[in-house]
A and B are shown apart, each in its own frame.
Chain A
Amino acid sequence: MDRFSVFTSRLVEKSENFTSGHRACQGCAEALAVRLVLKALGRDTIVAMATGCMEIISSPLPLTAWKVPWIHNAFENPAAVISGCESGMKALMRKGRVPKKKINFVGMGGDGATADIGMGPLSGALERGHDMVYVCYDNEAYMNTGIQRSSSTPYGASTTTSPAGTVSFGQQTEKKNLTQIAVAHNIPYVATACPSFPFDLLEKVKKAAALPGPAYIHILSVCPTGWRIQTEDAIKFGRLAVDSCIFPLYEVTHGKYNLNYRPYKKIPVEEYLKGQGRFRHLTDEEISHIQTTVDRDYQKILKRCEED
Chain B
Amino acid sequence: MAKPMDQITWRELEVGAVVVEVGNAMEYETGSWRSERPVVNREQCIKCGVCWLFCPDVCIVRAPEGHFEANLTYCKGCGICAKECPVGCITMISEEE
Contacts and interface: CB of A to CB of B under 8 A. Distances in A.
Given A6-B48, A21-B29, A67-B23, A27 B80 contact: yes
Contacts of A21: 25-30, 74
Contacts of B50: 1, 6, 9
Interface in B10-24: 13, 17, 19, 21-24
A10 B49 contact: yes
A197 to B, nearest CB: 11
B54 A198 contact: yes
Contacts of B76: 26-27
B63 interface: no
A19 B25 contact: yes
A186 to B, nearest CB: 34
A58 interface: yes
Nearest to B76: A26
Interface in B33-79: 33, 46-50, 52-59, 71, 73-74, 76-79
Interface stretch (A142-150, A212-220, A226-234): A226-234
A88 interface: no
B59 to A, nearest CB: 5
Range class of the B interface residue count: 35 or more
B3 A62 contact: yes
B54 A235 contact: yes
A231 B26 contact: no
A233 B81 CA distance: 10
B29 to A, nearest CB: 7
A167 interface: no
B58 A16 contact: yes
B16 to A, nearest CB: 9
12 contacts: A6-B48, A6-B50, A10-B47, A20-B73, A21-B29, A21-B74, A23-B30, A60-B5, A64-B21, A224-B78, A232-B82, A234-B56
Identify the 3 closest CB pairs spanning chains A and B, nearest first: A232-B79, A27-B78, A21-B25
Given A28-B56, A67-B23, 14 more contacts: A1-B86, A18-B58, A19-B26, A20-B25, A20-B30, A20-B57, A21-B30, A31-B56, A32-B54, A32-B56, A35-B56, A62-B24, A232-B79, A235-B80
Interface of B: 2-3, 5, 8, 13, 17, 19, 21-30, 33, 46-50, 52-59, 71, 73-74, 76-80, 82-84, 86, 92
Interface of A: 1, 6-7, 9-10, 12, 16, 18-24, 26-29, 31-32, 35, 58-67, 195, 198, 224, 230-236
